[in-house]
Copies of this chain bind each other. A is one copy, B any other.
Amino acid sequence: MKTKKVAIVGASGYSGEELVKLLLHHPHAELVAVTSRQNAGQTLAQVFPKFASHPKSQSLRFVDPNAELLAKQADVVFLALPHGVAAEFALPLIAAGCVVIDLSADFRLKSAAVYKDFYAHDHPAPQLLPKAVYGLPEVYREEIKKSLLIASPGCYPTSILLPTIPLLKAGLVKATGIIADSLSGVSGAGRKAETDYLFCECNESVRPYGVPKHRHLSEIEEQLSFAAGVPVVIQFTPHLIPVNRGILTTLYLAPQTHFSTTAEMAAFGGKLAAAYAAAYAHEPFVRLLEGKALPDTKNVVGTNVCEIAWRLDARTGRLIVMSAEDNLVKGASGQAVQSLNLLSGWPETAGLI
């Protein structure tokens, strides 16, 4: 299979580090450059001792980010940068013919106005928005294969969209009143030297934050609206919990069908099961739990899998759907590599199982 040369801009954060790990071990991708202003000049082995056993870790050195140079070295460039900054790098790379897989929020929205509303600054490259594909392979597989600019989804969005989109598309749940209650590990906050994320401030602590208008709402609602065919506004509450990795999302959804008997509930349950099976039975990275099993982040951390389970509540008439994923893998870098595999014509699971 034809290999591709890949580079990572912003490789010293948690998502960048996970990308390094995945790409070092990828059977078809060759990691040719990693950038980081603060670590420029150092080898991969010096910055990330855990990769020191990989032969390339001794020779590959961090460099200052330079779009022109990267465009010459790499076929595909991953951007693991803050929003705003990512778009500035994407422009010259796209212009130079590179494929860009962006892990920031910069190209996830179709509307520059919504971007400004949620991110509080003008979009740095609105002309690229129409070219970008939302990099959720389970929904946009064919588009990803043909795209030159992938907007890889955020961690919260992935944990919410995967469980919800098939139900909205199948018309099984209402597009109104959706609630997503999410719990995230601390790596979701990035490798930032801020007091709030010190060990002693997070350990033995649980707390909500960003209530009620978190930035990720914008892409979640846009994607849910596409699935529902009507504008969707949801309630979303993120919480910080003391684990390194993992997102657990609990969704509260209103079935389109009212069930007042056990038989009716079972019938509706059959439709739900069928909708999920149709969507995900053959997906390598979505695991529909059976029987009494409920999602648990420890069963997905380190993998590109999103676990999903659901329960109907006869008492309230509501549907509860729960999902678990690794925020740095299916919620970030693994999903980005999944897109790389798709657009490169490689097996979708290459380097991810």
Contact A250 B237 (CB under 8 A): yes
Indicate if the CB atoms of B193 and A195 lie closer than 8 Å. Answer: yes
Q: Which residues on the B side are within 8 Å of A211 (C-beta)?
A: 294, 311, 320, 322
Q: Are B320's CB and A204's CB within 8 A?
A: no
A178-205 vs B: 1/0 string, CB under 8 Å? 0101010111000111110111111111
- Copies of this chain: 4
Task: Evaluate contact between A233 and B316: CB separation under 8 angstroms.
Answer: yes
Contacts of A61 in B (CB 8 A): none
* Interface stretch (choices A94-102, A120-128, A241-249): A241-249
A247 and chain B: residue at smallest CB distance = B206
Contact B191 A198 (CB under 8 A): yes
In the complex, chain B residues whose CB is within 8 Å of the CB of A252: 179, 235, 252
| In the assembled complex, A284 has its CB within 8 A of some CB on chain B | yes
On whether the beta carbons of A315 and B248 are closer than 8 Å, the reply is no
Within 8 Å of chain B (Cβ to Cβ): is A172?
no
**Residue pair B294, A244 in contact (C-beta under 8 Å):** no
On whether A243 and B205 interact (CB within 8 A), knowing A14-B200, A211-B320, A237-B250, the answer reads yes
Q: Which residues of B sit under 8 angstroms from A207, Cβ to Cβ? A: 248, 294-298, 324
How far is A246 from B25 in the complex, measured between Cα atoms in Å?
23
A230 touches B (CB below 8 Å):
no
In residues 260-305 of chain A, which contact B (Cβ within 8 Å)? 284-285, 287, 289, 293-303, 305
Q: Is the CB of B248 within 8 A of A239?
A: yes
- CB contacts under 8 Å to B, within A127-183, are 179, 181, 183
> Taking the complex as formed, is A209 at the interface, i.e. its CB lies under 8 A from any CB of chain B?
yes
A208 at the interface (CB under 8 A from B): yes
| Chain B residues closer than 8 Å to A54, beta-carbon distance | 353
Q: Which of A45-53, A82-90, A332-340 interfaces with chain B?
A: A45-53
A307 partner residues in chain B, CB cutoff 8 A: 49
Contact residues in B for A284 (Cβ distance below 8 Å): 53
The docked-state distance in angstroms from the alpha carbon of A245 to that of B199 is: 11
Residues of B within 8 A of A32 (CB): none
Known: A183-B239, A191-B195. 12 other contacts (CB 8 A): A179-B179, A186-B198, A186-B199, A193-B198, A197-B200, A200-B244, A204-B204, A207-B324, A211-B311, A212-B311, A213-B313, A242-B242
23 contacts between A and B (CB under 8 A): A49-B296, A50-B298, A50-B300, A179-B252, A183-B183, A183-B206, A185-B200, A186-B198, A198-B198, A198-B199, A199-B199, A199-B202, A199-B244, A204-B204, A204-B297, A205-B297, A206-B246, A207-B296, A208-B250, A208-B294, A212-B315, A233-B315, A241-B242
